[in-house]
Amino acid sequence: MNNPSASDPSALLNIAVVGHTNTGKTSLIRTLLRSTDFGVIEDAAGTTRHVEQATISADNEPILNLHDTPGLEDSMALFSHLEKLSKQSKTLSAIQALESFVANITNNDPLEQEAKVIRQVLRSHVLLYIIDVREPVLEKYHIELVILSKSSKPIIPVFNFIAEHTQELTRWREQLASFNIHTALEFDTVAFTFEAEKRLYQKIQTLVESYYSQLQKLIDYRAEIWNQLCLSGAKRVAELIVCVACHRESKNTKENKMENTLAANKLQDFIRQAEQHCLKDLLSIFNFSEKDVALQKIPVSNGQWQLDIFAPGILKSYGLDAGSAALKGAAAGAGIDLMVGGLSLGAASALGAIAGASWSTFKRYGEEIKATVQGTQWLCADENTLRVLYLRQQQLLEKLVHRGHAALNTVQVEAPDTEKLPEDWTELTNILRQNPAWQEASASRNNDNQYQEIEAKLVSTLLGNN
């Protein structure tokens, strides 16, 4: 396979991102770079007035250069100018007309920005033409495509802001088909999916055959990194659920209201802090800034959830039955369940009978046996609290995974409510509650088959929704 960059490192694949002003060119590059540090995004025309290059690497090997260009604001004037040039010299080919235009442009010329675009177009191997599908299909966009096609470079139209604009997307597709352009791609910089990014690189692969192997390396590398990222997020949420479900606050069986309230408050604080820590980690894993949080409409302010996990009404907002907790004798949303040590003694005896005089029985059930003898009870997070905790993290993860880097004025599309609990949720949380030793990560916990099964279930449900 031909590998141009192997012999010459400067011969990387050059991709120009072009389009009308404010269609999301910089946003697309930011999304591909997974960074908000690139370029400037503003709700105004002509925000990008220079050509900026960013390199995308796979495993520290540079693969391609992306070029952000100013918007084509006045394609009609540019088209007339090129027509004039062609008329002046009839021997000029289309590409020569473009070259003549960029060579003779002066500073402060009204078409100076367009000249920068064309200059970069002529230097590139592939053009990504970004379309804001919310815009009406106008002649000027057609003209932009006509001008770009004069460069004889392969063009991939990229539909941006497609979420909830299906009709507009169809209209654009029909219009492009009438220009005999069928290679268009859907890539929403607001509601990002990794699949779209993969398809983008695959489309480029088919158009520039000589860079096939490098692009394949990039696709594979990106897929690996993406899976790792999603898995990191899901595992972090699973860790939170395990940590909270396994946590116990001991309580004296003697009725002492003050002491019991303190224990309940202590438990609630523990859950709040654990969730807070998880939120911080998730934002950190996905490299989310304060700006991103606001953009994605995550109900978080100053790095904290806006709605407390024990706030009244939170159960309802996650479609949970508030009455079920009341039936258990605990106030809805209080997040407290009482667990008596003797409850698990039956299981301990059964296991003890099987394992004989094994120390593992004492290791596992020692605390329970001691509690039964001493008459200690435990407080632990109730079923509904665990459910809310899980669903809230799942929703957050969904938003983080689909984070794009679109401009600030874009209307964020709310992610559909597809959150669901894993199968056998109740059984799963019951097992966790019976294993307080799992609260902290350890090799023995991670090697435990039952723990591995529970973690796998949580992770697969979390990722299954994404």
Partner 1 sequence: MSAKHNTFADLVRIEQLRNIETGQAEDLSYASIADMDSHTTNDFKYSVFLHRLGTRAKRLVQENKLASTLLQPQKLFTRASLICLICAAILGALAAGNAISASTTLNIYWLLAVLLGFNLLSILLWIIGITFDLQGLSKGVAAQLASWLPYRHKQNNTVASIAIHSWWESCLTGTIGKWRISVLTHKFWLAYLTAGMILLILLMLAKQYNFIWGTTLLPESSLPKLTQILGKPIQYIGLSIPDSHQIAGSRIGAAKQDAQTRSAWAKFLIGILLLYGLLPRLGLLAISLLMQRWAEDNFKLDLYLPYYIELRQRLMTRKIKARVIDADLQADTKQTDHLSPSAGNTVPPNTQAFGIELNDQIVWPESTAAHWNIVDQASLAGAIDIVKKIDGPLLIGVAIHRLPDRGVQRMIQELVASATQQPWLILLQEQSVTPVANARKLAWFRLAEACNIPAEHVITQ
Q: Are the beta carbons of 296 and 286 closer than 8 angstroms?
A: no
Helix intervals (H) in 160-300: 166-178, 194-207, 212-246, 257-285, 290-295
User: Which window, 86-94, 188-196, 201-209, 358-366, contacts partner 1 (CB under 8 A)?
Assistant: 358-366
Min. distance of Cβ 289 from partner 1 in angstroms? 12
Nearer to partner 1, 120 or 296 (CB): 120
User: Which window, 67-75, 248-256, 376-384, 415-423, contacts partner 1 (CB under 8 A)?
Assistant: 67-75
CA distance 21 to 16: 14
Own/partner contacts of 218-225, CB < 8 Å, gap of 24 or more, are 218/56, 218/58, 218/63, 218/64, 220/58, 221/58, 221/59, 222/58, 222/194, 222/197, 222/198, 223/194, 223/198
CA distance 163 to 134: 10
Q: What is the dihedral of CA 251, 254, 258, 264, to 10 degrees?
A: 20
Pick one of 294, 347, 441, 456: the residue that binds partner 1 (CB under 8 A).
441
Min. distance of Cβ 323 from partner 1 in angstroms? 35
Radius of gyration of the chain (CA): 29
9 binds partner 1 (CB under 8 A): no
Nearer to partner 1, 325 or 400 (CB): 400
Pick one of 329, 346, 359, 416: the residue that binds partner 1 (CB under 8 A).
359
394 binds partner 1 (CB under 8 A): no
* Residue indicated by tokens 């290679």: 183
Pick one of 92, 281, 413, 431: the residue that binds partner 1 (CB under 8 A).
281
289 binds partner 1 (CB under 8 A): no
Nearer to partner 1, 198 or 277 (CB): 277
Instruction: Collapse the DSSP code of 314 into the 3-class scheme (helix H, G, I; strand E, B; otherwise coil) and give the result.
Output: helix
Nearer to partner 1, 6 or 77 (CB): 77
Nearer to partner 1, 210 or 250 (CB): 250
Give residues 111-150 in contact with partner 1 (rule: CB under 8 A).
113, 116, 119-120, 135-136, 138-140
Pick one of 18, 26, 27, 73: the residue that binds partner 1 (CB under 8 A).
73
Pick one of 3, 55, 273, 301: the residue that binds partner 1 (CB under 8 A).
55
Q: What is the dihedral of CA 125, 128, 129, 135, to 10 degrees?
A: -170
409 binds partner 1 (CB under 8 A): yes
Nearer to partner 1, 324 or 412 (CB): 412
74 binds partner 1 (CB under 8 A): yes
Instruction: Collapse the DSSP code of 353 into the 3-class scheme (helix H, G, I; strand E, B; otherwise coil) and give the result.
Output: helix
Q: Where are the beta strands (DSSP E) in 325-452?
A: 337-340, 376-380
* Residue indicated by tokens 């509601």: 191
User: Both tokens of residue 243?
Assistant: 């940590």
Give residues 227-246 in contact with partner 1 (rule: CB under 8 A).
231-232, 235-236, 239
452 binds partner 1 (CB under 8 A): no
With contacts defined by CB under 8 A, how many residues of the chain interact with partner 1? Answer: 74
Min. distance of Cβ 452 from partner 1 in angstroms? 11
